Structures are given as C-alpha cells and as structure tokens.
C-alpha cells in the first residue's frame, strides 16, 4: 500500500505541475489549444504505457523491458530539451 501511495503522490505532483507549466508558456489566445494538446498527449501516455510495457514483458522479461523503457526515456530527454522551442 505504501508504494501505491507514493506513486499517487508522484502522479499528482507531475500532473499539476505539468499543466501549470503549459499554462505559463503558452500565449493567452492559444490557451485552449495548448491545454487540449497537453491533455491528449498525457492521456495517450497513460493508455499506451501499460500496453507497451505488457507487450515488452510478454516478448522478453521484466528486466529487459525495464531497460528498454529506460533507454527510450533517456533518449527522449535530449530530444525534448533541444526540440522544444521557447
């Protein structure tokens, strides 16, 4: 139960701070579009994450699936940092 509570706390912090960041960096006239796009991407991540993890675990094992997903996240960091325009 402690792990679930920790996960829920982390999820709530990320969700609220991400939405606030989107609201801060978008122009006022594009607020609805920015929040809609953010919500769509966030929901796609929530839906596809467990599906992709399940496929990787079924094909390989937990250890390999963890390292594959970790590699994807690590590769995604510089793509995000250098790809997002200010």
For residue range 8-33, list pLDDT tens digits in order: 888 888 878 888 888 888 888 888 88
Find where tokens 């250098």 sit: 82
Q: Produce one character per residue of 34-50: b if its CB has 16 or more CB atoms within 10 Å, e if not.
A: beeebeeeeeeeeeeee
- The count of domains in the chain is 1
Residue range of the domain that includes 19: 2-83
The DSSP annotation for 8-44 comes to HHHHHHHHHHHHHHHHHHS-GGGHHHHHHHHHHHHHH
Interval 55-82 mean pLDDT:
90
> Is the pTM for the entire model greater than 0.95?
no
In this predicted structure, the answer to whether residue 49 has a pLDDT above a threshold of 90 is: no
pLDDT recorded at residue 18: 83
């Amino acid at each position: 139960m402690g792990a679930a509570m920790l996960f829920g706390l982390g999820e709530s912090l990320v969700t609220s701070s991400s939405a606030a960041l989107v609201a801060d960096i978008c122009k006022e006239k594009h607020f609805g579009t920015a929040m809609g796009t953010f919500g769509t991407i966030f929901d796609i991540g929530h839906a596809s994450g467990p599906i992709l993890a399940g496929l990787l675990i079924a094909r390989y094992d937990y250890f390999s699936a963890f390292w594959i997903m970790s590699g994807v996240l690590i590769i995604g960091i510089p793509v995000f940092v250098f790809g997002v325009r200010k």
